[in-house]
Amino acid sequence: MLLEQILFFVAAAGAIGGALGVVLLRNPFFSVLALVAHLVALALLFLLLRAEFVAAAQLVVYAGAVMVLYVFVVAYIGGVEETVGGEGLIGRTGPVFAGALLAELTIAVVGSGLGALNTRGAHVPAGFGSPGAIGKLLLEKFLIPFEAASFLLLVAAVAAVVLASRRRGLEELGGDELPERAGRAPLPTVDGGDGARPNVEDARPIPAGTAEGPGDPTVSRGGGW
Amino acid sequence: MSIAWYLVLSGFIFCIGAAGVIARRNPLVILLCLELMLNAGNLALVAFSRMVGNREGQVFALIVMVVAACEVVVGLGLIVAMYRRRVPIDVDEVRELRG
């Protein structure tokens, strides 16, 4: 019992610290690393709740694969530092809104008077969240949602390929901006949009806070997204 | 440990994620904060599953993880497309759809 409480508080401190790190750290790369720490602490909480398979999937899929995807994208677009807490109305509203939401949730949970919340949970057999039990449930009772989830993953993979592909998808709308094709003649523009500018090199780095949007300042802002 | 502890912790994580979604401007960090909120929901689902002694909440948490992975893939694809089109990686600058 004592060991369970110690583990719970250590994992809870790790989870909250990781979550605060995601929000408060300025560099997106460090935010991703904080989220990895958060996910590992959350997997420990899942283990305490007897959800062994969910904990393993959390570690392997989330902290492993998805976070590596994040790290790749952060390394690709470069870590753009930004101010936290922000200026203006929005930056001040965020913490106030979060505090109000937390107070409401805590009142709802603690003050609800639900006697069931104060229990330590029902008595569960050994192997409650084991891969065998969860897999049996997934392949028998929840077979249709399982297959729908696999189809959803397939659709998302196709969407990512279309969105991020080099010569199709959104690139057709924006013209040719690829570095290896910079030497060629620029594509003719119909509406004088922001795409297909011949001066590709000097427009490459964009400061994060510029209001002009990418590239040519004479182009109206509506030419971007 | 009482189940209420897990639910309060889940509320904490959800509120931190919500504050991040509102206050941050980098879409990458906003996606990370969305992950935080989804994870808080997962923790509540697994805690309720433990409370009633039913495994189906864990299956629900697994499906939520699948949906979160899809959301991450599409969101990162959008961010890469924004970078390719030299749109600033800042949600305040993406204002084409604003009325």
Residues A160-214: tens digit of each pLDDT? 888 877 654 444 555 444 444 444 455 554 454 444 444 444 444 555 544 444 4
Mean per-residue pLDDT for A132-160? Answer: 92
The predicted structure's pLDDT at residue A107: 81
* pLDDT, mean over chain A: 75
d(CA B10, CA B37): 9
Distance from CA of B22 to the nearest CA of A (A): 5
Distance from CA of A86 to the nearest CA of B (A): 7
**3-state SS class at A215:** coil
The answer to whether residue B42 scores a pLDDT higher than 90 is: yes
d(CA A64, CA A58): 8
The predicted structure's pLDDT at residue A104: 83
Confirm or reject contact between B75 and chain A (CB < 8 A).
Answer: no
The predicted structure's pLDDT at residue A82: 66
Q: Which of A22, A54, A152 sits opposite B62 (nearest CB)?
A: A54
The predicted complex's ipTM stands at: 0.92
CA of A153: which chain B residue's CA is closest? B70
Take residue B21 and report the two structure tokens written for it. Answer: 């979604």
The predicted structure's pLDDT at residue B26: 87
The predicted structure's pLDDT at residue A167: 57
Contact B29 A22 (CB under 8 A): yes
Cβ atoms of A30 and A82 within 8 Å: the answer is no
Contact A97 B22 (CB under 8 A): yes
Element (H, E) at B30: helix B27-52
pTM for the whole thing?
Answer: 0.77
**Inter-CA distances, A153 with A124, A160, B68, Å:** 32, 11, 10
The predicted structure's pLDDT at residue A91: 66
Which residues from chain A sit within 8 angstroms of residue B25, using beta carbons?
82, 86
Contact B76 A160 (CB under 8 A): yes
